[in-house]
Copies of this chain bind each other. A is one copy, B any other.
């Protein structure tokens, strides 16, 4: 049986191997992904939940509770823990190991960590590729978890069907920590550690912020759910809020729009990755000319686009590994 067949049949070791292969950026990893996408279920029913929040907000514990909730409903769940900042310590990875040990014996749970390094096409694109593999493998739920609330995190979890933004009372500047961009991606706000001082105030502040930003009176606002993840409190309510959001999406064009958004995002990430490689290869003398005012950034930008279009890549730089054209070589 080929790796692809084993993956589609739900073989667990095939999944881990497929992810490693795709992450490596090797041509037959790309081929595998392409075939899986073509032959996988056309109307996928995977539910993708994104979770983001500042370090220390209890995000991982909350995700663990969501995994429990999925398993109670007999749904298979994959967790992709993404760290766009790769801190120096192994803290995040250690935490993942603890979780991995806990769910180790359960074939219905798959946990994978991804760091920023080594993803030529960008971490966001790589995350979406792993989600596609989990989908092909038959997972019902996928949780994308990111550390932090910056630009990179927004980019990664913002493409989920339902995005949770986790806040906790007493985190410095409270609601001011919710940056623009983060607010816009939140489908559900979670106030975790709701038994701590200042939780009620934080809920009020978030609500006031949402009211302020509402397009008009009576506009639908994202719900705010209070949880104490460490004790499992509020998790049922959170699951209800997630279900309600997804039901609302399904009732309209929302779910299709979310999937379209993911596709758009992945296409953009691929081209951005190719562009970044070409930018690094821009000739020094051309850049010196711009720096000295003999040329302009706009002129150089036009030339860069021409190079991108001509696929006239410098040695050692490839636009997309495994072009659609060489799908023929994919029979291994």
Contact = CB atoms under 8 A, between A and B. Distances in A.
Interface of A: 30, 34, 37-40, 42-43, 55-56, 84-89, 91, 116-117, 125, 148, 150-152, 172-173, 175-176, 178-181, 209, 212, 256, 259-264, 266-268, 270-272, 274-276, 279, 282, 284, 287-288, 290-294, 296-302, 304-306, 308-310, 319-320, 322-324
21 contacts: A55-B172, A84-B151, A85-B181, A86-B180, A88-B180, A89-B176, A150-B151, A259-B291, A261-B287, A263-B288, A263-B290, A263-B297, A267-B287, A267-B290, A270-B297, A270-B298, A271-B305, A272-B272, A274-B301, A299-B324, A305-B309
B293 A256 contact: no
A56 B270 CA distance: 37
A183 B40 CA distance: 42
Contacts of A256: 288, 291
Given A34-B298, A85-B181, A260-B291, 17 more contacts: A40-B293, A42-B292, A43-B292, A86-B180, A88-B175, A125-B297, A150-B151, A151-B151, A151-B152, A261-B287, A263-B291, A267-B290, A271-B275, A271-B279, A298-B322, A302-B324, A305-B309
B298 A30 contact: yes
Task: Give the 4 A-B residue pairs with the shortest CB-CB distance, closest first.
Answer: A309-B309, A263-B290, A150-B150, A259-B291
A55 B275 CA distance: 32
Given A86-B180, A150-B151, A282-B267, A291 B308 contact: no
Contacts of A264: 279, 282, 287
A144 B288 CA distance: 22
A148 B151 CA distance: 12
A26 B130 CA distance: 42
Contacts of A287: 260-261, 263-264, 267
Contacts of A56: 172
A268 B263 contact: no
A265 to B, nearest CB: 8
Contacts of A175: 88
